[in-house]
Amino acid sequence: MRGRHFVYDLVEDTNVVKKPGMKIILNQFIDGVGETGDVLTLSPAKAYKNFLVPGLAVYATPENIAKYKVDENKPKDKSNFSSPYVQRTMRCLSRLVLQITMSKTEPWTLEPWHVRTSFRKAGFVVPEDTITMPPVKISGPDLSLQEKEFYVTVKINNKEEVNVRCRIHHWATGLEKLPWDEFHWKKPREPLIPEQAAELANIPLA
Amino acid sequence: MASSRIQATVRQLSNTFKKKSRFDIGIASELPPAYKKFWREWKVLKPAAVHFIPQESKWKRDELTGETLPVQNVPIPLKHPAEIHEGIWGGEAVIKGFQKRSDQRRRVPHYWVPVLKRTVVRSEVLNTHLSVTVTDRTINLINDHYGFDHYLLKTPACDLVSMLALKLKKQILIELMNGCPRYANNPQKQKEIYNEYKTYLSSYTPEEIEWYGLTWYEALSKVAKQKEAQNKPVPLKNIYRKKLVEKLKAAESEDKNDATEEISTTTSWLSKMNPFGKKDEA
């Protein structure tokens, strides 16, 4: 045999071929995934890594289908949410400490568009009409507000409501500028409106 | 005339002469049939086609000329580096050959090496997670067999290739033979696991499991050790000591019989000798 007898051609690279989905059965309730006995069809790599190795699911063998009494025609109970991603959005918003930057020198009254702008600065596009302002009128500049917090309510998809923790920061330049408070978003603050105190205590501060 | 006779002799000799296999030489001739069975499964059986696409039919017709040609399905020669035994590559191995990258250029030497990744496999029988080096094919095979243990137990040794997989398979078989002692704290689970995997035990006897997954040298040294343990040499000093003790005992009993014969009564000149007496006394 000579070298010319060992010239090979690549016919197919099986590592880069898309693999068909694989069926697995959950053997316990997993938040955001499903309940015991639910059948998932996933890519083999994901199913293996995320469910089979940790022991959260089993292979859809005939024995396991009988064991977990799988009913594939079972109607999926309709979720009450307006979109599949709304829970994630709600979680993100409830984690947020919204800094509302207001002038330290010019007089102002807090309005929805201030809140909308602050949301946009924090990376959330929130239309004005979905924001419910606190029941009292907040106006400044008033440095005592710096140590207070309140919440606004945001309505997502005209259905779900989230309370977002807000704090007012007085902004100025030069010597007027307030000193930097390290990790201010982690520190607990007094509620501005006594009626909101209970609700604010419910929102976890990261 | 003569040449035909020579030919006949050659034919006859070639029929009667049997080349010595590796099981006929030296201590290897004492290897048990259990190991021969494993060896057959490991080295003699043809592994599954992994690196080429086998053609089904026995013959095929050349489309242009209409000529009928035999289908050969020659497996590509594979290289088995030492690292293959530290992972479970699912039958994949290294291919050494040439690539013809362009018609205008000379062929280029090339090694095709499988894409290796480290992942976790779960063995139900052993009740552990193991971190092993695998290929995508291994994971696919595990999924196709509905689990790592099923994959190891169902796949013949020639397809597992790696020593790691063979040793694990042996351990799993031993575990099953002993009735899954690792689940001793949970009898219900133990029973479930045992019932799921017990079908695989039917194709092995305990002796075959004992000899499963041994390399050639491990098997030879096992035979040598067994042989050594069987005819362990007894030191001669032990034998002689035993004989001496017996002799002395016999002598003692004889002595008792002859106790009446006092030394003083004997008339031997030796008894009159007193080596510790004074010189002039003697």
Residue B5 phi/psi, 5-degree rounding, is: -65, -40
Query: Of A5, A7, A18, A61, which to mutate for an interface test with B (greatest number of B Cβ within 10 Å)?
Result: A7
Which residues, in sequence order, are CB contacts of B227 under 8 Å at separation 6+? B27, B30
ipTM confidence score? 0.72
**pLDDT at site B264:** 54
**pLDDT at site A77:** 62
Compute the average pLDDT of residues A171-175: 90
Nearest to A7 among B100, B112, B120 (CB): B100
Compute the average pLDDT of residues A181-193: 89
A9–B53 C-beta distance less than 8 A? no
Q: Which residues of B touch A22 (CB under 8 A)?
A: 143
Residue A11, both tokens: 């016919």
Level-2 CATH architecture, domain A3-67: 3-Layer(aba) Sandwich (3.40)
Sequence letter at residue A122:
A
**pLDDT at site B93:** 95
Q: Confidence band (pLDDT; 50, 70, 90) for A203? A: confident
Decide if B76 touches A, using CB distance below 8 A.
yes
Q: Which residues of B touch A41 (CB under 8 A)?
A: none
**Parallel, antiparallel, or unpaired for β B128-134 and B117-123?**
antiparallel
Do A156 and A126 touch, CB atoms closer than 8 A? no
| pLDDT, tens digit, 9 for 90 and up, residues A112-127 | 999 999 999 999 999 9
Q: Which residues of B touch A44 (CB under 8 A)?
A: 139-140, 143
Q: Assign 3-state DSSP to chain B and report helix, strand, coil percentages, each to 5.
A: 50, 10, 40
**Parallel, antiparallel, or unpaired for β A160-171 and A131-132?**
unpaired
Nearest to B97 among A6, A22, A52 (CB): A6
Is the previous residue joined to B77 through a cis bond, with omega within 30 degrees of 0? Answer: no
| pLDDT, tens digit, 9 for 90 and up, residues B78-128 | 999 999 999 999 999 999 999 999 999 999 999 999 999 999 999 999 999
Domain boundaries, chain A: 3-67, 86-202
For domain A86-202, the CATH superfamily is Ribosomal protein L9, C-terminal domain (3.10.430.100)
Compute the average pLDDT of residues B166-170: 95
pLDDT reading at B271 higher than 80: no
CA-wise closest residue to A88 among A158, A13, A162: A162
A59–B98 C-beta distance less than 8 A? no
Q: Which residues of A touch B96 (CB under 8 A)?
A: 6
Residue A181, both tokens: 């408070």
B122–A15 C-beta distance less than 8 A? no
Query: Of B96, B143, B188, B196, which to mutate for an interface test with A (greatest number of A Cβ within 10 Å)?
Result: B143
β-partners of residue B117 are B134
Average pLDDT, chain B: 90
Q: Which residues of B touch A47 (CB under 8 A)?
A: 143
Residue A28, both tokens: 């316990």
**pLDDT at site A73:** 67
pLDDT reading at B18 higher than 90: no
Residue A126, both tokens: 């929130």
Q: Confidence band (pLDDT; 50, 70, 90) for B282? A: very low
